[in-house]
Amino acid sequence: MSTYAQKKGFGATLWDFLTTVDHKKIAILYLIAGGFFFVVGGLEAMFIRIQLAVPNNDFVSAGLYNEIMTMHGTTMIFLAAMPLVFAFMNAVMPLQIGARDVAFPFVNALGFWLFFFGGVFLNLSWFLGGAPDAGWTSYASLAIASKGHGVDFYVLGLQISGIGTLIGGINFLVTIINMRAPGMTYMRMPLFTWSTFVTSALILFAFPPLTVGLVLMMFDRLFGANFFEVTMGGNTVIWEHLFWIFGHPEVYILILPAFGIFSETFAIFSRKRLFGYSSMVFALVLIGFLGFMVWAHHMFTTGLGPVANAIFAVATMAIGVPTGIKIFNWLFTMWGGSVKFTTPMLYAVSFIPSFVAGGVTGVMLASAAADYQYHDTYFVVAHFHYVIVGGVVLAILAGTHLYWPKMFGTMLNETMGKITFTLFLIGFHLTFFIQHFLGLWGMPRRVFTYLPGQGFETANMVSTVGAFFMAVGVIVLLINIIVTSARNVRVGNDPWGDGRTLEWAIPSPPPFYNFKQLPLVRGLDAYWLEKMEGKMAMTPAEPIGDIHMPNASFLPFTIALGLFIAAFGAMYHVDHKPWALPVMVIGLLVTFASMFLRSVKDDHGFHIHKEDLIEKTDKGVEA
Amino acid sequence: MANHELNSGNPRVDIEYRRKKSKEEMRYQIVSFTMMLFLTFIAFGMVAAKGFSHWFTVPIILLLAVVQVIFQLYYFMHMNQKGHEAPSLFLFTGLGVGLTAILTFMTIVWW
């Protein structure tokens, strides 16, 4: 552990990351894995747009199109957006509350590896006989009838990565409840920490329904059960409910951290305290609560009846109120501030009109009667891309630029960042704005092609051109990352110069123990308060002392690996492959043996001694 | 979540106060235990009595069950004490989500 400052070989670095339980390294793992899947999902999106660029196109076949479309949605939601959001939560949240790590570092690593192996398993379907093709919602009647192993990959892969997300969420909850620094009351927590808290609560309550749904689906497909098989007395609508009881909170799981990142961005670059802090917190919590009351608005046309539709329509529209509160608060934060248009701020400013557009179409879709018209058209596609790309993806890009120096100790190039921003924003609106009209003109979703002469040609071509703009934007970002890493100009604690919260009070990247002495928090925007009083650092809340740290462990990797192996066994068991059952048993043995080892072998971690901390001090210890 | 041992090693512990508190708690426990037995008896009696219609007994039994759960959580599992705000928040949120789901499956899912 004291090898921190030394240069390490590739093997040592790899082993370090495979066994790490440090939240900052796990954040980097999430960022790399999520970034990789983001590129994969982006490629799938490009294939979709190329196929739809001209009528009667045969770039991909109908079956392959279904697979690409399904995998685009599944990958982007579960394997790109969520891990990237988790990357920022891991990197920033413990620093913001003044903690030395998350509550359960081992579980944190386990969560990452479960997500990673689940994602790899899902994507291996491309090479093993075809990807899932029943849409990211995988509605039961379609999914059960799906030939081959595609949907099995979906069920097992999401089950594994879902466990990872769930334990990650629980970990964040415990961390925020128990590990806040002295003085960090709930109402002094930075907004990003608040959004992590609410998001984790949503994960806690939303993932169990998905788990149940996936288990039922798994039994239907792999072990001959009939939960969703109507001809055998099952009920296919139950899947829709279970999926959306999970699925609607899921989109808030994505957007709330985005709100958090933008709240930080607005405050930092307007050099003002966030306007209406307590109402922002209230709105976050309210959105979280309401998020569980609206799932049936995805099912208006299923035939729930007018009463249920009306209730869910009203509940859905109600969400516009807290969201509106947040939008106005962001605007008022900028009002009268001394605004600096850095790359993250550009994303934040452009997020407001983009997201409002998505919100307005959301209220349109929420009117159940009108939804019968919009349902299953490109209008819906345009709506959710406006909220997810215009909200979540812009936030992820903003967060990448904002927190890159904190995570890696070097600033991304601002000029290239602004080029990425311009290309991406233009591309985004070019791609999706026109899709509203495509939908209103009657183009259905999830079709692999359309006929000429229906008035869809120009609009689809425009949309495809926009997609290429976004792709070029992302490529510029990747070049930016490579160039920045190669130059590797080191930066100090507060590279943006206007950091307000605790993470900017410590070096970039922070030492592995984060805070030599836990900081004393004296109000909202703790670091800003100290800076305004002319202090260079936080007032410590404790004398310097031994720090208890967890040991690195390879077991999270093997626990997840075991489930990954077992999933193959479970899946090929259906084909009566003689090796399938042993593989499943071996996989589960690996998992349970690792868990057993973890349980019986006491691991008390280690202490960094006071003397070592003082030696490494650059400007003296404050008592 | 506070410690309730009498000898916590803290010299300034007010033993008198602790004793009074424990006694009080014991009284609450016994009272709620008796109440719970009584409520169970009512529930049992209502079913055994046969005279009541199902539309009367079922809601009453459910109501008694809710009361019992509250007794259990607050008096026996100490949720009435300080430091249980977060657990109770999550408990009730979870309950809300779970009950909404059950309500859904009983009303707008059809066979």
Amino acid at A461: M
- Which residue's entry shows tokens 């030599």? A516
Does residue A403 have a pLDDT over 90? yes
- Measured CA to CA in angstroms, residue A509 lies from A63, A364, A406, A495 at distances of 47, 45, 5, 11
Tokens of A524: 């909202």
Among the listed residues A156, A86, A145, A92, the one whose alpha carbon sits nearest the alpha carbon of residue A121? A156
Q: Residue B86 is nearest to which of A177, A289, A293, comparing CB atoms?
A: A177
Q: B101: which chain A residues are within 8 Å (Cβ-Cβ)?
A: 209, 241, 245
Strand partners, A549: A606
Secondary structure letter of residue A552 according to DSSP: P
d(CA A71, CA A64): 10
d(CA A109, CA A23): 8
What proportion of chain A, given as a percentage, has pLDDT over 70? 97
Domains observed in chain A = 21-553+603-615 (1.20.210.10)
Contact between chains at A201 and B110 (C-beta distance less than 8 A):
no
Task: Report domain extents, chain B.
Answer: 1-80, 82-111
Q: Are strands A606-608 and A547-549 parallel, antiparallel or unpaired?
A: antiparallel
The per-residue pLDDT for range A352-401, each reduced to its tens digit, is 999 999 999 999 999 999 999 999 999 999 999 999 999 999 999 999 99
Q: Quick one: pLDDT band at residue B1, thresholds 50, 70, 90?
A: very low
Q: B104: which chain A residues are within 8 Å (Cβ-Cβ)?
A: 241, 245, 296
Q: What is the pLDDT of residue B24?
A: 87
* Mean pLDDT value across chain A: 94
The per-residue pLDDT for range A504-538, each reduced to its tens digit, is 999 999 999 999 999 999 999 999 999 999 998 89
Nearest-CA distance from A209 to chain B in Å? Answer: 9
Does residue A623 have a pLDDT over 80? no
Q: What is the distance, to the nearest Å, from the Cα of residue A57 to the centroid of all Cα atoms in its chain?
A: 33
Tokens of B68: 């019992």
Tokens of A497: 């110069």
| Pick among A187, A198, A216, A237 to test the B interface (most B CBs inside 10 A) | A237
Nearest-CA distance from B105 to chain A in Å? Answer: 8
- Taking any CB pair shorter than 8 Å as contact, residues of chain A touching chain B are 173, 177, 201, 204-205, 209, 235, 237-238, 241, 245, 289, 292-293, 296, 304-305, 308
The C-alpha angle A171, A172, A175, rounded to 5 degrees, equals: 85
Q: Which residues contact A360 (CB under 8 A, 6 or more apart)?
A: none
First to last CA, chain A: 25
Q: Quick one: pLDDT band at residue A615, thresholds 50, 70, 90?
A: low
Cis bond before residue A509 (omega within 30° of 0): yes
Among the listed residues A253, A243, A46, the one whose alpha carbon sits nearest the alpha carbon of residue A134? A243
DSSP SS3 for A512: coil
Is the model more confident about A9 or about A313? Answer: A313
The per-residue pLDDT for range B53-83, each reduced to its tens digit, is 888 888 999 999 989 888 888 888 877 777 7
The per-residue pLDDT for range A179-192, each reduced to its tens digit, is 999 999 999 999 99
